[in-house]
Amino acid sequence: MAMGQSAAAPCANCLAWNRPQTPFRIFGNTYYVGPHGLSTILITSTSGHVLIDGALPESTEQIVANIRSLGFRIEDVKLILNSHVHFDHAGGIAELQRLSGARVMASKWSAAVMRKGGVGRGDPQFGALRPIAPLKNVSELRDGESFQVGAIAVTAHLTPGHTPGGTSWTWKSCEARTCRDMVYADSLTPVSSAGFRFSKNREYPGALEDFEKAFVFLEAVPCDVLVTTHPENSDLWDRLQARDEGATPDPMVDSGACRRLALRGREQLRRRLADEAVPERP
């Protein structure tokens, strides 16, 4: 969601996105370790951890300190995953990989961007984004592929549209005997550079089919606890506050959240396509 920014332009939202956030347990072995405005998720096990998303390059120090303040170590992160390769979610990954030595896995499209350090023409926001630090060592994943780190099994689901390589993630986290279906959903917003059309585009001809695939996934996935790339899009701060105030049942758990996110995504796309259908004035 970084419209109107480029390498030359300052990032209007970055300061707000990068505001410090005390890390906290979301559920079981799943923790929030990102800055306040950009999610970074830590899933822990006794034999290594998984990290999803790296926020901004300037978020790295915070993420590392947050992991440490929870009693874990960046050096024990074995696998780093990503939602989509815009600088506000992937900007810190190169440095986090250097500090941890972790394997980085990404969709084919996202992996190509990571190697190159910037998005190509198929990206709706091409030309309006800060570049990211290139990664030498990134492997490609397949839709539905699962990755094991210790007792953690995390599964990749391609949910493209916001970018052609967008990926959402699922895993299970348990507290005592209660296990929850965790979902980390990628951005679904049809945001673009000026002039880009989702309805008809030579550089991204499959955009609408891709969005549909993402919506269908979210409508069907078992979903107890949802976290989104931008935490407020899944009301994370309201849920956290309610939980801190002692609300029961646990406000983090909301099995309708993924379906509602899909519904909102469909509505945003519908409005965007309606705008695109209005003929441009001469």
Q: Which residues bind Zn ion (CB under 5 A)?
A: 86
Cross-sheet strand order for the sheet of 146-149: 146-149, 152-158, 167-175, 178-185, 225-228
User: What's the closest the beta carbon of residue 187 comes to Zn ion, in angstroms?
Assistant: 5
Q: Given the complex with Zn ion, which of 38 and 74 has the nearer CB atom? A: 38
Q: Given the complex with Zn ion, which of 86 and 130 has the nearer CB atom? A: 86
User: What's the closest the beta carbon of residue 164 comes to Zn ion, in angstroms?
Assistant: 12
User: What's the closest the beta carbon of residue 207 comes to Zn ion, in angstroms?
Assistant: 14
Radius of gyration of the chain (CA): 18
User: What's the closest the beta carbon of residue 204 comes to Zn ion, in angstroms?
Assistant: 14
Q: Given the complex with Zn ion, which of 86 and 180 has the nearer CB atom? A: 86
Q: Given the complex with Zn ion, which of 99 and 133 has the nearer CB atom? A: 133
User: What's the closest the beta carbon of residue 281 comes to Zn ion, in angstroms?
Assistant: 29
User: What's the closest the beta carbon of residue 246 comes to Zn ion, in angstroms?
Assistant: 35
User: What's the closest the beta carbon of residue 80 comes to Zn ion, in angstroms?
Assistant: 18
Q: Given the complex with Zn ion, which of 36 and 86 has the nearer CB atom? A: 86
Q: Which residue is nearest to Zn ion (CB)?
A: 86
One-letter-per-residue 3-state SS of the chain: CCCCCCCCCCCCCHHHHCCCCCCEEEECCEEECCCCCCCCEEECCCCCEEEECCECHHHHHHHHHHHHHCCCCHHHEEEEECCCCCHHHHCCHHHHHHHHCCEEEECHHHHHHHHHCCCCCCCCCCCCCCCCCCCCCCEECCCCCEEEECCEEEEEEECCCCCCCCEEEEEEEEECCEEEEEEEECCCCCCCCCCCCCCCCCCCCCHHHHHHHHHHHHHHCCCCEEEECCHHHHCHHHHHHHHHCCCCCCCCCCCCHHHHHHHHHHHHHHHHHHHHHCCCCC
Q: Given the complex with Zn ion, which of 67 and 226 has the nearer CB atom? A: 226
Q: Given the complex with Zn ion, which of 163 and 173 has the nearer CB atom? A: 163
